[in-house]
């Protein structure tokens, strides 16, 4: 039995949810590391418009926490520049995850984002992250409940396929998020000023409020990582 499996067997998800629900957002990050060593925690960030607040909270709670970014090969140049900016601001080390070269080439040659966007996401995001998740006990991500119907049903802690999902900002409101953003005068994504409310790969992202610009015109509002 692996160390990760042993840790998971000791976890009471309901007890954690009850405890963390009473904590402030910043305190949730600090408390997490009282339960799990940093090497067992996988932290992913898209370096989009909603990323900087969580990155700042993580850097204050544990500066040794690495940030994993899925580099699909289709990011806006502004996103890659923003990643460098936030890495400098927070001091956190960024580790890029790249898709399998052959599968990525398939998506490029077929322009898969046009008629098979879910398959494109699966090849460039879901599959590359799968192996990384298997090496950790906890996956920490910055989803907010108001973003999509799927996320509205999420809790602070969930156990999915043997992995503990930690959503420390799931119940934050847009107003609370803006408060932290403005209080600390945190740098914003360069494309936000051009009307982009949410930012993913350049083929599938348009200007729009909230997530309205993601996969516009398609029956899709998630890449598959959080479903």
Containing domain of residue 190, as a range? Answer: 3-204
pLDDT at 209: 85
Q: By three-state DSSP, how is residue 74 classified?
A: coil
Tell me whether residue 33 is exposed, middle or buried, using C-beta atoms within 10 angstroms of its C-beta: 0 to 12, 13 to 18, 19 or more: middle
pLDDT at 3: 44
pTM for this entry: 0.89
Residue scoring higher pLDDT (132 or 221): 132
Which are the catalytic amino acids?
223
pLDDT at 219: 74
Asked if the structure places residue 97 within a domain, the reply is yes
Helices 51-61 + 77-90 axis angle, to 10: 30
Task: Give the count of domains, the chain.
Answer: 1
80: its two tokens: 């890659």
Asked if the structure places residue 210 within a domain, the reply is no
pLDDT at 226: 65
Q: Cα dihedral sign for 134, 138, 140, 145?
A: positive
Q: How far apart are CA 121 and CA 105, in angstroms?
A: 13
The CATH number given to whatever domain includes residue 128 is 3.40.50.620
Residue 7 has pLDDT above 80, yes or no: no
Beta bridge pairs of residue 95: 68
Span 73-131, pLDDT tens digits = 999 999 999 999 999 999 999 999 999 999 999 999 999 999 999 999 999 999 999 99
Range in 130-134, 190-194, 223-227 with the lowest mean pLDDT: 223-227
Span 132-149, pLDDT tens digits = 999 999 999 988 876 667
Asked if the structure places residue 216 within a domain, the reply is no
């Amino acid at each position: 039995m692996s160390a990760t499996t042993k840790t998971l067997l000791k976890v009471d998800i309901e007890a954690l949810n009850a405890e963390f629900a009473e904590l402030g957002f910043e305190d949730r990050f600090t408390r997490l590391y009282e339960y799990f060593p940093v090497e067992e925690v996988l932290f992913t960030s898209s370096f989009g418009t909603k990323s900087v607040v969580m990155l700042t909270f993580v850097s204050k709670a544990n500066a040794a926490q690495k940030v994993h970014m899925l580099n699909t090969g289709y990011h806006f140049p502004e996103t890659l520049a923003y990643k460098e900016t936030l890495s400098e601001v927070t001091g956190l080390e960024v580790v890029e995850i790249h898709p399998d070269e052959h599968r990525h080439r398939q998506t490029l040659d077929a322009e898969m984002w046009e008629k098979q966007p879910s398959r494109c996401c699966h090849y460039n995001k879901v599959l590359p992250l799968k192996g990384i998740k298997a090496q950790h006990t906890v996956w920490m991500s910055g989803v907010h409940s108001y973003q999509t119907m799927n996320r509205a049903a999420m809790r602070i802690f969930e156990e999915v396929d043997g992995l503990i999902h930690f959503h420390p900002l799931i119940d934050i409101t847009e107003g609370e998020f803006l408060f932290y953003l403005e209080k600390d005068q945190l740098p914003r994504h360069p494309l936000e000023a051009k009307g982009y409310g949410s930012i993913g790969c350049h083929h599938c992202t348009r200007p729009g409020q909230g997530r309205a610009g993601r996969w516009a015109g398609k029956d899709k509002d998630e890449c598959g990582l959080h479903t």
